[in-house]
């Protein structure tokens, strides 16, 4: 078996099993069994389980960040102020992600993996992503800050994660949601059309000026 084929088999098996059972519960033995390779092959090509997890993410994120940088360059070149709106930034981000991932693997699997990266303790993964894709991340976040000057850093931090949460939920469960839509309404919305509805929703959440609510938690009682 060629080395490149072996690597692809291991990565395919790893991402499927990680998305189903999580990083912690998925053993290297289960991955080698599904990939039909021996443990020595995993150790030879990746060195460790942590490195394998990082490689699974890199397979998605490396082509994504390259295309995102290119898309930003094109949009900024057409903008004399070198500044983009939140609507433009989110449209570029989501469309770039969906088209890149769809071309390489499947969107819902990566979104499950991304959700797991937040819910399971994978400190090494965050460090890896920060080091590997730091330039693209910093550039995009600078554009987001410029597009939302009315937000404080803390407000922006949480709103970005609210946005990410809505996106992860939508695309990690897109197959189930489309099946529900088909059962309830007899229709099936294309992924690109879902993006067209999602982006304005996300942009509204990031654009809306903060309203500070004053309420007393102790005044909320259970009357049942």
The CATH code of the domain that includes 192 is 1.10.357.10
The confidence score (pLDDT) of residue 104 equals: 52
Do both 83 and 32 map to the same domain? no
Task: Match 């399971």 to its residue by tokens.
Answer: 120
For 161-176, what is the mean pLDDT? 90
Do both 70 and 156 map to the same domain? yes
User: Is the model's pLDDT at 189 over the cut of 90?
Assistant: yes
* Residue 216 located in a structural domain: no
The number of domains in the chain is: 2
Q: What share of the chain has pLDDT > 90, as a percent?
A: 60
Do both 41 and 130 map to the same domain? no
pTM recorded for the entire structure: 0.82
Helices (H), the chain: 3-21, 28-35, 39-45, 49-77, 86-104, 107-119, 123-132, 134-147, 153-172, 174-185, 191-207
User: Is the model's pLDDT at 224 over the cut of 50?
Assistant: no
In whole angstroms, give the CA distance from residue 201 to residue 175. Answer: 20
Sign of CA dihedral 161, 166, 167, 168: positive
Q: In the structure, what pLDDT confidence band is assigned to residue 119 with cuts at 50, 70 and 90?
A: confident
* Residue 60 located in a structural domain: yes
Nearest to 14, CA basis, from 43, 44, 47, 42: 42
The confidence score (pLDDT) of residue 78 equals: 77
In whole angstroms, give the CA distance from residue 31 to residue 5. Answer: 15
Instruction: For residue range 63-107, list pLDDT tens digits in order.
Output: 999 999 999 998 888 777 678 999 999 999 988 888 887 655 577
* Residue 108 located in a structural domain: yes
User: Is the model's pLDDT at 174 over the cut of 90?
Assistant: no
The confidence score (pLDDT) of residue 217 equals: 56
- Domain with 121 in it: 54-209
Do both 36 and 8 map to the same domain? yes
User: Is the model's pLDDT at 208 over the cut of 80?
Assistant: no
In whole angstroms, give the CA distance from residue 11 to residue 6. Answer: 9
DSSP 8-state symbol, 190: -
């Amino acid at each position: 078996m060629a080395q490149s084929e072996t690597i692809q088999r291991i990565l395919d098996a790893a991402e499927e099993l990680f998305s189903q059972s999580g990083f912690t519960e998925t053993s290297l033995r289960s991955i080698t069994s599904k990939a039909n390779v021996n443990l020595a092959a995993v150790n030879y090509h990746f060195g460790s389980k942590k490195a394998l997890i990082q490689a699974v993410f890199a397979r998605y994120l490396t082509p994504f960040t390259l295309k995102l940088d290119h898309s930003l360059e094109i949009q900024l070149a057409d903008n004399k102020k070198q500044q983009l709106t939140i609507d433009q930034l989110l449209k570029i981000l989501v469309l770039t992600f969906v088209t890149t991932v769809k071309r390489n693997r499947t969107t819902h699997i990566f979104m499950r993996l991304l959700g797991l990266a937040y819910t399971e303790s994978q400190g090494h993964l965050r460090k890896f992503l920060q080091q590997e894709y730091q330039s693209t991340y910093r550039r995009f976040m600078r554009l987001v800050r410029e597009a939302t000057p009315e937000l404080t850093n803390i407000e922006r931090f949480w709103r970005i994660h609210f946005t990410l949460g809505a996106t992860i939920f939508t695309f990690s469960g897109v197959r189930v949601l489309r099946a529900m839509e088909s059962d309830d309404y007899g229709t099936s919305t294309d992924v690109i059309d879902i993006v067209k509805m999602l982006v304005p929703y996300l942009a509204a959440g990031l654009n809306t000026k903060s309203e500070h609510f004053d309420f007393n938690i102790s005044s909320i009682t259970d009357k049942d």
